[in-house]
Amino acid sequence: MTTAPRALGLAITMAVAACSGPSAPADELAPDLIYTNGTVLTLDGDNTVVSSIAVKDDRIVALGDWTERELGALAGAQTVVYDLDGRTVIPGLQDSHLHFIGLGADDYYVTRFDDATSIAEIQEQLRVHLARLDGEGALDVWTYPSTGEVGPWLFGAGWNQAKLDEGRMASRHELDEVSRDVPITLDRVYLGVAVNTKVFELQGYDFERPETWPEWFTRDPAYFGPGDVIERDPETGLPTGVFYGFAPALIGRAPARTFEQHVESVAMGARTVLSKGIVAIIDPGIQEENRVYQEAYNRGLLPIRVTTYDGIWRNESPDEMAARFRTFGLNNLGDDHFRIRGVKVYADGGAGSRSAAVSVPFEPSDADPLGESNYGALVEPDFERRLELFRTAAVEFGWELHTHSIGDVAMRQTTEGYMRVIDEIREQDPNADLRYSIIHAYMADEPETSVIRDMAEYGIIASINPGDVHVEGDSFLGNLGESRMTRLLPFRTYLDGGVIMASGSDYFVAPWDPWIGIYAMRTRQLQISGVVAGEDQTIPLQDALKTYTINGAYLTYDDDVRGSLEVGKFADLVVLDADLLSAPDEALLSMGDRVMLTMVGGSVEYRKEGAELRQVSR
């Protein structure tokens, strides 16, 4: 820990006080508020720690370790001074990968199964949810497809069969035990869904009438690839209601929320994430949903800072991509509260779904039809075609590149494509500031395919989801094996290798609480088994915090105005009711509950009910 020299705080104090002479500064120059007698983690380049911070309007105007006399010289007649009583102040957190539009509504309407370990638990959670809907009527009413009737619908998310005692997800019959009349749609953590019989019936499929069955009821489509699975009853061969990979598309989509519901959800979600200390997000890979953010912003319902990526791009032709860019407009459109910049591209699938592109096959699994020969797959195996897509976005239209790449083969393809594009751009502009990222970036340091050195040399950012190590680690361990799991998301290797990490949750795939990710970076402990996978890849607390603060701001080109607590930057900060530096790692999992207040641009946008700081009278 580096402590600010006394001269630093005193120099800042005197500089402010000097503006109006030896006495207290004029009101127009004095800070609006001061937090003092705490631990202020600035997360600047030196990891400076001070005891006090001063804010005026939307900016930080002073930091230091001030005596009572110095504090008096800094404060004006209208300055409000709060005693932190040893509490911790950190920069506001950024989630650099958060599918945010639905979060606020999901918090009420969707049951999460991140901690469920059995089918019985899932059933019980759904019964509780159903009882709440029955008791409050129209809070969750949808128009059913095919029939046009109106009624409730049970939604869930975050299940993973690998975390359940049964080793499988609940079948339609087990979901029917919760409700036979209300449709139930439960999204897997990634690429999967489980539904009850009512959902089949709403699509016109009657299990008692074979004439209503589509061909896929009895035979997998020929286009199925790795990870595309319709789970079938071993006796009848008919679907159990559990689908993996891209197979869920066969059962049809549940009703979508309306535009107004989305706007309301954004407002609800902003209040929700502020409660854990999040002040900024990146929502990757959206298109028409930008209208939702713009409307929320116009109505004054967007207190957090939002950056969105245009996409999602898979293996479209350059002509298709160019046509959209010509229609869409300019990159970097917006301001410090809402901005559209960069594109999201897909290179492969996922580790949990066994569809990531890997150089060594996934571990054998009875549930995997490819057995021991599953290497996953690249979305676009033709490197030259992938390179042309990158060129169209980055060279022709100037959009930053952000590519979903999980397996080592996908990371190698993406990295080499970026290197080619960056070289081409810098031939014309040697000083081009290019902050491309690899999204997820799980398998960066496999023995034959490591991209660490190339990422560092070309300034390619690892946009990681560290919480996955904790929440999904047991599933990954089974699919990848012990050796690869110790290298998955190699935090220490990234840090020591000079690769910038910007952290996010990948909600709705995983829980959005940022403190789970910070805990994972400190411990690498798997949630179910308790196994510590890759202890040598843990990193110090302040380095973990930087991935959620200044590094995230760097990814969006905002590091000059936010991301650390420094004079002149936006006053985006969080007060924690804890001494964070001395807290045990286990306390990190509940640290979100210790957020007393969250400030964005000098405005307190969240204050925990009943949590008050002591105001100091001067």
Indicate the domain borders of the chain: 2-92+602-616, 103-251, 259-562
The answer to whether residues 499 and 464 touch, using CB atoms and an 8 Å cutoff, is no
Q: What is the model's pTM?
A: 0.86
CATH topology agreement for domains 103-251 and 259-562 = no
Angle between helices 259-274 and 290-298 (to 10 degrees): 70
Task: Classify domain 103-251 at the CATH topology level.
Answer: Diaminopimelate Epimerase; Chain A, domain 1 (3.10.310)
d(CA 79, CA 100): 36
Q: What is the pLDDT of residue 134?
A: 60
Q: What is the pLDDT of residue 107?
A: 83
Q: What is the pLDDT of residue 6?
A: 35
Within a 13 Å sphere around the CA of 323, how many CA atoms are in the beta-carbon half?
A: 5
Class of domain 2-92+602-616: mainly beta
The answer to whether residues 9 and 70 touch, using CB atoms and an 8 Å cutoff, is yes
Tell me, what amino acid is at 130?
A: L
Helix (H) or strand (E) holding 107: helix 103-109
Q: How far is CA 472 from the centre of its chain?
A: 14
d(CA 10, CA 442): 45
- For residue 574, give the 3-state DSSP assignment: strand
Question: How deeply is 19 buried, as exposed, middle or buried, from its count of CB atoms within 10 A (0-12, 13-18, 19+)?
Answer: exposed
| Biggest CA pair distance of the chain | 91
d(CA 115, CA 113): 5
CATH 3.20.20.140 at 259-562, yes or no: yes
**E runs forming strands in 144-261:** 150-152, 154-159, 184-188, 192-195, 229-232, 239-244
Q: Which residue has the tokens 């410090």?
A: 336
Nearest to 147 by CA among 205, 210, 217: 205
What residue ranges of the chain have pLDDT lower than 70?
1-26, 134-140, 329, 617-618
Q: What is the pLDDT of residue 25?
A: 58
Q: What is the pLDDT of residue 11?
A: 39
Please give the angle made by the CA atoms of 286, 288 and 294, to the nearest 5 degrees: 95
